[in-house]
Structure formats: C-alpha cells, structure tokens
Amino acid sequence: MSVLAPVRPAELPVLRERGQREVFCGLTGIIWLHRKVQDAFFLVVGSRTCAHLLQSAAGVMVFAEPRFGTAIIEERDLAGLADANEELDKVVRQLLTRRPEIKLLFLVGSCPSEVIKLDLGRAAERLNGSYDGVRILNYSGSGIETTFTQGEDACLAALVPEMRAEAADQLLIVGALPDVVEDQFRRLFAELGIARVESLPPRRAKDLPGVGPGTRFLLAQPFLGDTARALETRGARHLPAMFPFGAEGTTAWLHAAAREFGIDEMHFRSVVAPGRERAKRALAHHAERLNAKSIFFMPDSQLEVPLARFLSAELGMTLVEVGTPYLHRGHLADDLAALPAGTQISEGQDVDKQLDRVRAARPDLTVCGLGLANPLEREGLSTKWAIELVFSPVHGFEQAGDLAELFARPLVRRDRLTV
C-alpha cells in the first residue's frame, strides 16, 4: 500500500468569472447543523421566504418542533413602526421558555435583517447573560455575496471565540460530519494511537472543545476558510491534506494526522489497510460505468475540487471543467496537485457563460444546483444535484462506494430511459 502524495505540477489555469449566480443562501446549512448539535436552536431573523426555504429544504413541518425557526420581519418592522430589538427579545424569551432543553441559541442573520441594519451581534451580546445555562451567539446566513455552504463556516467561526484555552496536545476534526462518519474516524484515530480527538461542532453545547498551541486540526470540508483562520488566531495549526473522499483521499487525510503525531508508518498502514481495501472494492463496482465518462462541475458547494480529484484519480472520469464559487489554494493544494495536467478550473460564476460551455461540451454528467438541473435535463443532459453531495454521508472509507453511486445513478437512470 502506498500513501498518495501528489507531486505539485505547474499551476493549473483558473478562469475567474463574475456575473449572474445561481446558488442557495447560507441559511441552507441549518438543515444539517441542527441535526449535528443536538441541543442547539437556530433562530433565523428574516422573511417568510426564509421560513419557506428552511421548511421545504428540511422536509420538516413546523408542528414537529424542529430545532430551527424564523422570527418573521413584518411590514411594521420594515417601516420602523416597531422596535425590532424589543420584538426579537420577546421571541427569544418565548422560545427559551417553551424549549428549556435548548443550551445554545444562534441568532442567524438573513438578507432582510442585513438590509434593515438589524445588529444581531449586539443583540446576542445583550441577551447572552440573561438566561442561565444558555449561550446565545450570532452569525450571518445571508445570501448576499456568499454561497450556501458558507453558512456552516460562519456558524463554526462564531463558536471559536467561545472555546476555552487548552494547552494539551489534541487533534481537532473541523466540519459537521454525520455522527456515523465521525464515529468511524474516531475509531481509526484511536486504533492509530492518537489519544485525544475532538470535533467542531460538538454534538452537545457542553462538549465544545478547547483550543490552543497544542491543537492540530484537520478540515473535513473545504469551505471552512473563516473557521480555519479563527482557529489559527487561537494558536491551532492546520494539517494540510487531501479531503477524505474515496480510498486515496481518506488515506492521505488520515496520514497527515498520523505523521504529525509520530505514528509508526507500518502501524498506520496496518490500521488503514482493511478500510482502504473495502473502499477500493466498493469503487470497483462503479468504475466500469463511470470510467472515461465526462463531467462538468458548475460552481455551487465548494466541494468541487476534491470531488473532481476523486472522480478523476479513483474512477477514471474525464474533467471537462471544474467550477467552484471560491478557490482556497492553501486548503485545496493537495487536491489541486492531483488533478490531471491542464484541467480547466473556473472560480466564481457567470451562469450564462457557463451554461454555454456546458451546452457546447455536452458532458455525460453535469453537477449543478437545483435551479439549473431541470432545464438541462430538458435539453437531454444528465445532471447531479450538488446539494445532495453536502446532505449525504460521503466522507471516509465506508462511504466511498455510496459517493461513487451518487454520480453513477443519473447515468443508470439515463440508460434505462433510453429507448
């Protein structure tokens, strides 16, 4: 077994575009964050449109009492006929009285609350000491100049100042992973001999880890730039690595931690070998369908570069273009280095120009947002919803086959519908 360590090629060409965008806003991150932090509540201060987005995206009816909701900004608030801060205080009081199990409350900004200049940061500071045992924080989920995964980044960055000072050596996994995936990684780190492993975000507010000079962290998601900077400000050190998609990406991600913590190389190989082989067998099941198929990534989730690396290196797909909303070269360095020479990368979005390139290339598969998928399907192009790749458990060895299947499924459907 060899650990994939890419040789850095000449810098890949990047096409930078700015124009009309087609993406969800950062409020979408609440859908997976509220499931991860089990005693947190996400109170969006926004419009009825914000409320409809959350309810429809989550597939949860309000009478089920999910751990998110919307404080609706009414016409009276917009016209200045009501004190928005007094109204917000009233909503928070009612919420915490009704839901005593809440230990962490996020006041989440939106486009409407930012337009009327409602200072939710100051509101959170004012309310934070008013309720025993409840921490109240603020972050923005606005869709103004952001893409939807940045909601998680803003949320985790808001947690970093609340982390206690911690000098001890520890490994911090940064990024909201499904519990089953997090548990798999924790077991592997324990088998490797890394004694202290923490997660951000934690499953419960009381388990928020500490941070300090002894903290080394692995990013589980490539869209956590603000969170990484906040952790580095607190003295933590980032461990650069490929992101843990597929057999090779997961091996490289784990190896970065093993190398940092002085784990013997032979021991590392013996620990990861079973999972790596299971992943390779699972990928082989889909390789015949995906090999040599062309794929075009529209910029959407910021997962595009590591997923393109996975599909190209491990399944043999041909990359027509890899679009991403923002390109963090430092965090994506290893994945960028493993892309085929000459791969076209685009940063930012000008949706009309990119759609023209999709139509000209007619790839076997286009990864894009929901708003673009149906029109492209109508034109005879197979698509994959980018947001499904964020909602689904796709990290690690055990999920490698499931990740490959998400890309194979549209091609299987197309073949079955072809007469």
State how far the Cα of 400 lies from the Cα of 185, in Å rounded to an integer. 14
111 is in an annotated binding site: yes
The neighbouring-strand residues paired with 237 are: 216
368 is in an annotated binding site: no
Q: Output DSSP code: residue 269.
A: H
Sheet strands side by side (includes 104-109):
68-72, 40-46, 104-109, 135-140
Contact (Cβ atoms closer than 8 angstroms) between residue 248 and residue 242 = yes
State how far the Cα of 15 lies from the Cα of 234, in Å rounded to an integer. 34
50 is in an annotated binding site: yes
Contact (Cβ atoms closer than 8 angstroms) between residue 358 and residue 352 = no
SS3 content of the chain, % helix, strand, coil (to 5): 45, 15, 35
* C-alpha radius of gyration, the chain, whole number: 22
φ, ψ for residue 346 (rounded to 5)?
Answer: -120, 140
Q: Where are the alpha helices (DSSP H) in 245-291?
A: 246-260, 265-290
Nearest to 42, CA basis, from 207, 159, 163:
159
Name the one residue in this structure whose structure tokens are 């939106």: 110
Residue list, annotated binding site:
25, 50, 111
Residue list, annotated binding site for [4Fe-4S] cluster:
25, 50, 111
